[in-house]
Amino acid sequence: MVATIKELLEAGVHFGHQVKRWHPKMKKYIFGEKNGIYIIDLQKTLKGLEDAYNFMKEVSSTGAPILFVGTKKQSQDAIQEESTRVGGFYINQRWLGGMLTNFFTIRKSIERLKKIDTMKADGTFELLPKREVASLEKERAQLERNLSGIKDMPGLPGAVFIVDPKKERIAIAEARKLAVPIVAIVDTNCDPDEVDYVIPGNDDAIRAIKLITTKMADAVLEGREVLSKKTAEEAEKAEVEEKIQQEEAEIQK
Alpha carbon 108 to its chain centroid, in Å, reads: 22
Give CATH for domain 5-97+157-252. 3.40.50.10490
Examine the pLDDT at 252 and tell me if it is beyond 80: no
Q: Residue range 63-84: average pLDDT?
A: 98
Evaluate whether the domain defined by 101-155 bears CATH number 1.10.3430.
no
Examine the pLDDT at 219 and tell me if it is beyond 90: yes
Q: What is the torsional sign of CA 152, 154, 155, 161? A: negative
Q: What is the CA radius of gyration of the chain?
A: 23
* Pairwise pLDDT comparison (246 vs 69), residue with the higher score: 69
Q: What average pLDDT is seen over the chain?
A: 95
Could you state, in order of their start, the residue ranges of all structural domains in the chain?
Answer: 5-97+157-252, 101-155
59 vs 118: CA distance, rounded Å: 33
Examine the pLDDT at 121 and tell me if it is beyond 90: yes
> 43 by DSSP, 3-state: which?
helix
Looking at residue 50, its amino acid is E
* Pairwise pLDDT comparison (205 vs 240), residue with the higher score: 205
Burial class (CB in 10 A: 0-12, 13-18, 19+), 130: exposed
